[in-house]
Structure 1
Amino acid sequence: MTDTATEQSATAAASGAAATEQFRNKQRTGTDGTDTRRVDTLVTELLTAAHDIIRRHRLTYTEYDALKSWLIQVGEDGEWPLFLDVWLEHVVEEVANESREGSKGTIEGPYYVPGAPDLPADTALPMRADEAGTPFLFQGHVTGVDGTPLPGASVEIWHADDDGYYSQFAPGLPEWNLRGAVTADGTGRFRIRTVQPAPYQIPTDGSCGRLIAAAGWHAWRPAHLHLKVSAPGHRLITTQLYFKGDEHVADDIASAVKPELVLDPGPSADGTGREVTYDFVLDKA
């Protein structure tokens, strides 16, 4: 059931402002430490590539001015986190995790919020009493690459609701709706009851939406669960899990789907919804 106020107020600007603030908070707690030689190399090659595009396609001043206007508007809309996470992050993730032996990762996206409620190994995510959607049981086992169970592993999970909205990025939703940090049991196992999320379009009323329309693209992401899985002495994995049969698994606007990340749920044992088992394998730190 769509909350009318949520639907009307979940604008690109509001969502972008929230994503920008979350990113700024993340940066305040991190360190830069990037070598100046790396900055020089990366920025020089990025600009050289842009220069090559201008020359090869004979960019006009009309097109250049349109580009400048659009870039300025992206910042004013607060949509840089959305733009970068949708169109660039999947390649950064690919490079950063190319040496992993364990589970596959993919993009974090712009809607992560740290500090989700701590939950036990067998649990239900926080949700409204009348939460719409198909009941969904997500369960599995966290191990190391050698198969050793990882007791007390952290399985942080968040996802959109049945209308495609994320708590803290659309009004009218409880603060931690469909978000939680689950601690696996003594054998590394977890059971999480939630609802199956819906596919959704990234915000289209802002600058990113104008780019999508101008290029003739679609704005859809397939339905997915977001996860961060970690354990002491092991590398954290950030990933998303998708659903077999979703029409946008093959053409995700964010190019984040990998075959290993597609779930194939079946009917739940109690007949009330769907369930799936998915195990996580973590690399040594």
Structure 2
Amino acid sequence: MTVDESVATAAASGANATQRFATDKRVVADTPPERVSMLAREVLSAVHATIRDHQVTYDEYNALKSWLIQVGQDGEWPLFLDVWVEHVVEEVASESRDGSKGTIEGPYYVPEAPELGSEAWLPTRDGEQGTPLLFEGQVRSVDGTPLSGATLEIWHADADGFYSQFAPGIPEWNLRGTVTADADGRFHIHTMKPAPYQIPTDGACGKLISAAGWHPWRPAHLHLKVGAQGCQQITTQLYFPGDPHNDDDVASAVKPELVLDPQDIDGGQQVTYDFVLDREATS
């Protein structure tokens, strides 16, 4: 069973991503005015410098205004920011954290996925397309202690490159779940290998990509949020070797430490990847 790509539009994905952000994210509203002023002024100064350095014309300025309006109308601000900005925010946020590497969350996370235990089969449709994948490993702290009861939220695209709850025709929790590690911090997740995909290109972000001569591809990846009591949660993505866009991911999210080493097994592939979590800072 596959999703008809012609009905999985940028407008639909953008609207869903915007709605999910409004529903799921708590926006911190108590940032001191002096910091808001400093950040806003520096961003605007960078824009002003670009205009001066490159002698931006009124036609180019009006094209930018039109495009910014279209980004909002398409509901693509979560997509735009998560693809082209978030990787730097993640870099700054994690620079002092030890343990496993993280990377961007992206626009397609949904909280409260079904709880599945330590030996987990992610929900799938009858006849779900793709290569069966067994993903297993252990969650430990930086001192090597296995983290019993660690939680792993996992979600990923299907073999057509679509995410449940963001494209039509896919069951609500397809290829999404919350896994709880066993007493030794170990987990075993049965799923289907995801496919590379293009970010939506029929909306404003696609117009930018086309105008700039860029490509819209993300390499195949698994998304995870991994946490345990007393430890800092990490958000990450894991990639597969040989993908042509590991080196030029449109979202700039691939790190060498996040590339898996899959092994062929009867009927599919198996990967082992351990997570090492840093302890929470103590005051």
- The interval holding the TM-score normalised by the smaller chain is over 0.9
What is aligned with 2:155? 158
* Cα drift, residue 26 of structure 1: 2.4
Q: Which residue of 2 aligns with 1:169?
A: 166
Question: Counterpart of 2:186 in structure 1: which amino acid?
Answer: R
Kept in 1: contact 2:3–2:168 (CA 8 A)? no
Alpha-carbon distance in structure 2 between the residues aligned to 1:89 and 1:190: 29
Note the C-alpha offset of 1:123. Answer: 1.3
Partners in 2 of 1:141 and 1:134 — Cα distance?
23
The one-letter code matched in structure 1 to 2:75 is: G
2:3 aligned residue:
3
Alignment partners' CA distance in 1, 2:231 and 2:30: 23
Match of 2:82, as an amino acid?
D
2:11 is matched with 13
**Alpha-carbon RMSD:** 0.8
Kindly report structure 1 stretches of 4+ aligned residues shifted beyond 3 Å.
none
Cα distance in 2, alignment partners of residues 86 and 30 from structure 1: 19
Q: Secondary structure at the match of 2:210?
A: helix
Counterpart of 2:94 in structure 1: which amino acid? N
1:13-162, aligned counterparts within 5 Å? 13-27=11-25, 29-162=26-159
Q: Is the 8 A contact 2:260 2:271 kept in 1?
A: yes
* Equivalence for 1:273: 268
The separation in 2 between residues aligned to 1:259 and 1:34, in whole angstroms, is: 35
Distance in 2 (CA, whole Å) between partners of 1:127 and 1:33 is: 42
Give, in angstroms, the shift of residue 35 of structure 1.
Answer: 1.6
Matching residue's letter, 1:109: G
Q: What does 1:231-270 correspond to in 2, within 5 Å?
A: 231-268=228-265
Partner-residue secondary structure (3-state), 2:46: helix
Q: Distance in 1 between matches of 2:94 and 2:259?
A: 18
What's the CA shift for 1:173?
Answer: 0.3
After TM superposition, the score normalised by the length of structure 2 is 0.97
| Alignment partners' CA distance in 1, 2:259 and 2:103 | 12
Aligned pairs for 1:218-229 (under 5 A) are 218-229=215-226
Between the aligned partners of 2:259 and 2:30, the Cα distance in structure 1 is 36
Structure-1-length-normalised TM-score: 0.97
Structure 2 match to 1:282: 277
C-alpha distance in 1, partners of 2:73/2:128? 34
Counterpart secondary structure, 2:80? helix
Structure 1 gap ranges (5+): none
Alignment-mate amino acid for residue 214 of structure 1: A
1:230 alignment partner AA: G
CA shift at 1:33, angstroms? 2.3
- Paired with 1:206 and 1:264, the residues of 2 have a C-alpha distance of 35
How many Å separate the matches in 1 of 2:247 and 2:55? 33
How far residue 37 of structure 1 moved from its aligned partner, in angstroms, is 1.4
Say if 2:132 and 2:269, in contact at 8 Å, map to a contact too. Answer: yes
Counterparts of 1:68 and 1:177 in 2: how far apart (Å)? 38
User: Which amino acid in the other structure matches residue 270 of structure 2?
Assistant: E
Aligned with 1:118: secondary structure?
coil
Residue 3 of structure 1 deviates from its aligned partner by 2.8
In 2: Cα distance, 1:64 partner to 1:30 partner: 30
For structure 1, which segment, 149-158 or 34-43, has the greater mean C-alpha deviation from structure 2 after superposition?
34-43
1:34: Cα distance to partner? Answer: 1.3
Q: Amino acid of the residue matched to residue 70 of structure 1?
A: W
Determine the C-alpha separation between the residues in 2 that align with 1:36 and 1:262.
Answer: 41
Match for residue 193 of structure 1? 190
